[in-house]
Amino acid sequence: MSCAICNKRKEKRFCPAVHGRICPQCCGEQREVTLDCPSECVYLQQAREHEKPRPLEELDQSALFPKIEIGQQFLYEQEHLILGLSYALAKSAQADRGIRDSDLISALSALARNYETLAGSGLHYETPVTNLSHQAIASEVQKMVKEYREAEQKHVGYSRLRDSDVFRALVFLLRMAFTRTSGRPKSRAFVDFLFRQFPEQHSAITAADEGSRIIVP
């Protein structure tokens, strides 16, 4: 039997993306490129085990807000904010299983630019977003920020959260997304990373009670 993709080489493994058997070469070349590989695929899982996070210095620096410094002190002080934002991203992806790493990265980039403007000038300017998935992600993140501020107001009498803190937290998550995605068009490596941190029916508050889940890129 020949490969269901190239129809030349001998098939050797079952591909759940095409519901047929393909050759190892097509599997390696088309994985998360033309093939929408499900997370449970054993060959995808094996490939990820051998993939190391991409170093920040090897990525497009212009997309990473390079002038923004994020140190350990910020991560310590804003751990619950970062957990909350991460949970909002996971919740968005759980609601729409078609969301990929590129969608989260695009939404995070737009949100970070908006908060950069807000923190610098106080002007509420939002970058126009036409993609419905990106709109849903942004909406979930904004909802989480609103709830975070309301919780602070309830417990301490006022909200301490600054727009600049949200901006830097978003930049941190954006950098994490870039290092954890494979960079392939259909990659969901960062999405699956978030799912491991926040399984369905698992809240950000529960996660915080269990201890830190922040992994520095």
pLDDT digits (tens, 9 = 90+) for 66-100: 999 999 999 999 999 999 999 999 999 999 999 99
**Contact predicate 115/170, CB 8 Å:** yes
User: 21 has which bridge partners?
Assistant: 14
For range 8-31, the mean pLDDT: 96
Tally Cβ neighbours within 10 Å of residue 95.
12
Element at 13 (helix H, strand E)? strand 13-15
Angle (CA) 139 143 146, round 5°? 140
Task: Give the start-to-end residue ranges of the domains of the chain.
Answer: 1-50, 58-210
**Other beta carbons less than 10 A from residue 170's beta carbon:** 27
Q: Exposed/middle/buried for 109, CB within 10 Å: 0-12, 13-18, 19+?
A: buried
pTM of the model: 0.86
pLDDT, one tens digit per residue, over 109-128 is: 999 999 999 887 766 666 66
Contact 179, 217 (CB under 8 A): yes
Cα→Cα distances 4→43, 137, 155, Å? 16, 36, 60
